[in-house]
Structure 1
Amino acid sequence: MDDRKRRVLRAIVTLYGADGEPVGSGLLAEQFGHAVSSATLRNEMAALTKLGLLEQPHTSAGRVPSAKGYRYYIDNLLDTGARLPAEEKRQIDLLFREMDYDPERLAESAARALADLTGYCVVATTPKSEDLCIAHYEVMQVGRYTAAVLAVTNAGGVRTRTAKLDFALRPGDAQRLSQALNTYLTFRSAADVREEQMRAAAQSLGSAVYYPVLSAAVTLLREAGRPNVYLEGQQNLLNYAELADSFRTLMEFFSDTEAVKRYVSPKSERTTVLLGDELPEYRMPGFCIMTKRYLAGGGLTGAIGIVGPTRMPYRETIPRLEYFALLLGECMSGRVQEE
């Protein structure tokens, strides 16, 4: 890969990304300001095709980048230092100021806003940590035989679950239940809550009839350790004809929680770009999943990612994703930017 081949590959990725049409030598010559002849460019395109970096859809058609070509471009030719314009930052700041800062709602709202801004599909996960726990429980009577258990995680998330009892709740029951849950089940990981804690909580209440409330509290604790995944803007992908054959596989992928955890949770601070051809269990030619980790404070991390066509304009899209991840982490941590 000499410098001219690199320039040719970069130009074809840019031109193909603009309209999704194969790039011919004539159009490429215009991109180079006719400083290089069409014949020379055809030779370079043939060489890149032989290297597996370009493909020729039809005999007489121009070239398009292959999955291998996109991977080479992303790893070696992509300028990752592009900055987001100040005006666009200001608009995104305004979007975040209007969002609900509850972690569950914030992740969902951020995903929806980024999907609207980019015209792609966006996935976002709520913060997760190995030691995520419940910091506070509150029990409220919502019916004669029904109690609502509210749990606040140490990440600031709020979850609720109802419990049905076999007897009518009496005055003071909700307060006693709240006290028992906060005494025996707070600031413990799900793995640390065993049968003895449940028995101790039940004994403190003087009866096993309250067990449905204790069970609801433990369920909330277990659910708190599993990040929620939000997917927004799926309809935007219907605008890209080349994705039609892989759309069903994409939906199957996002219904597989374990697969999403593996591939939509970057292990480093860098933005990760995964091509659909690179997922062994869910091959999705034409798709790209670009993800960025955000830091929510207290060692908690989540992720936000863009799902779109492989030919998306990476240089413009990556700064948007990274700025959303930055603001998402700041809002999750309670560090809200001033007007």
Structure 2
Amino acid sequence: MQAPITLNARQQHVLWATVRQYVSTAEPVGSKVLAKEYGLKFSPATVRHVMGFLEKSGLLFQPHTSAGRIPSDFGYRLYVDHLMHPSTKVAQRVDTQLSESLNWDNWSVEALLRGATQILAALSGYLTLITVPQKSEATIRHLQLVLLDETQMLLSAVLDSLETQSMVIQLPTADGQDTPHLEALERELKILSNFLSAHLIGRSLLEISELDWETLDREFQRYSKTLKDAMQVLAKRNQSSGMAQFVMSGLGGVLRQPEFSETQQVQAIVHLLEEEQAQLWPLVFESTSTEEAEQGVRVWIGSENPLEPMQSCALVSSTYYRRKIPIGSVSVLGPTRMMYDNAIAVVEAAANYLSEAFNLGF
């Protein structure tokens, strides 16, 4: 991981212009081109000096000795985090086209998502992936806490599908108090089980994981964080156990980009998309509530991707929700030489559109 770096206004301007020029042309960028095309108020020699600094800082590099410079993954990251804003025009175009083209009254969910991927792929120029809504309504039929020893208990939840989800969790310690004897702990957990059953049966795992557990009766307060963490683990486990089905569009266009000229590289990406979709799931789906999500859009750039076939790619993803519960994601995949302001706008607008549609009861 690169150390943080602070750039002055001139250095930021040159990095911004270099990224924009390289994204547009796919050709290494020279100082004369930047000075001419981007109206920089300083000479090509000054631009060249600034580009040299950016190269030493790891933000640019030269693919060949006598060539111009191109952004590194670190350069793209700084650009995305600090030097660009998602395009509002593109976001408005996405919302308009989705609203005018999709028939929510007569189409199936899969047909709607397939139509959406085609629209987004055409607007972005990149491969678009939308996950089919996950089964987020698995509800609690029975819940029990069983003492195992002085330090551990078993949480067992029977779902409406009759599937049982269980996990061993550590008993919380009572600050400033002695640990109760086993018999006292057993009685306490039995009372807590009855209390939880009365309040949680019939509610979904994800809904339960987002409850305010601080409202537990005072005698059970010390269990609040432990139980909330455990229910979130069960909710994520239940979701990941389902098949992550993707609807895709735009693969051919992406693979025609110059970055994907090597057959072996293309084969690895296609294999990942068609045969190993489960590996993509942790990258594209964020199983947190809308309140806890740190940001609306996640961007993986080049070497930041944990999957080797994608380390020459950029992946932009956002989650869509039903009643604040995450049920799917919208993503675009392309080369690291991506028009990030457009891609982020496309993904964010599409996720917002799908969230609104599913919240209206589709």
Q: TM-score range by the shorter chain?
A: 0.5 to 0.7
Q: How does 1:250-261 map to 2 (within 5 A)?
A: 250-254=269-273, 255-261=275-281
Alignment match, 1:320: 346
1:253 Cα offset (Å): 2.7
* Cα separation, 1, equivalents of 2:138 and 2:36: 56
Counterpart CA distance in 2 for 1:305 and 1:223 is: 18
List runs of 5+ in structure 2 lacking aligned partners: 1-6, 140-158, 166-237, 288-292
What does residue 248 of structure 1 align with?
A: 267
2:271 maps to amino acid = E
Distance 2:281 2:315 in 1: 13
Identity of aligned residues (%): 29
1:121-150 deviation per Cα after TM superposition (whole angstroms, max 9, x unaligned): 1111012255437xxxxxxxxxxxxxxxxx
1:100-115 to 2 correspondences below 5 Å: 101-115=107-121
The equivalent residue for 1:306 is: 332
Alignment of 1:202-217 (within 5 A): none
State how far apart, in whole Å, the 1-side matches of 2:25 and 2:39 are: 20
Change (3 A) 1:293 1:59: same
1:239 aligns with 2:256: yes
* Counterpart check, 1:42 vs 2:48: yes
Q: Deviations over 1:155-184 (max 9, x none)?
A: xxxxxxxxxxxxxxxxxxxxxxxxxxxxxx
**More deviation, 72-81/320-329:** 72-81
CA contact (8 A) 1:107 1:328 kept: no
Residue 335 of structure 1 deviates from its aligned partner by 5.6
After superposition, residues 60-75 of structure 1 pair within 5 angstroms as 60-75=66-81
TM-score, normalisation: structure 1 = 0.67
TM-score by length of 2: 0.63
Q: How many residues align?
A: 258
SS at match of 1:277: helix
RMSD: 3.1
Q: 1:107 to 1:241 in 2, by over 3 A?
A: same
The answer for the alignment partner of 1:188 in structure 2 is: 160
CA, structure 1 residues 300+87, in 2 after alignment: closer, same or farther (shift >3 Å)?
Answer: closer
Partner of 2:356, secondary structure, is helix
Dislocated runs of 4+, deviation >6 Å: 221-224
Q: Per-residue deviation at 1:224? A: 9.5
5 Å matches for 1:43-122? 43-80=49-86, 82-84=88-90, 86=92, 89-97=95-103, 101-122=107-128
SS class of match (2:282): helix
Write the deviation string for residues 8-44 of structure 1: whole angstroms up to 9, x where unpaired. 1111111111111111111110144251111111111
Partner of 2:146: none
Q: Mind listing any 5+ residue stretches in structure 1 that lack a counterpart?
A: 134-186, 194-220
Deviations 1:61-92 (A, max 9, x none): 11110111111211222224745475664333
Aligned with residue 26 of structure 1, among 32, 39, 43: 32
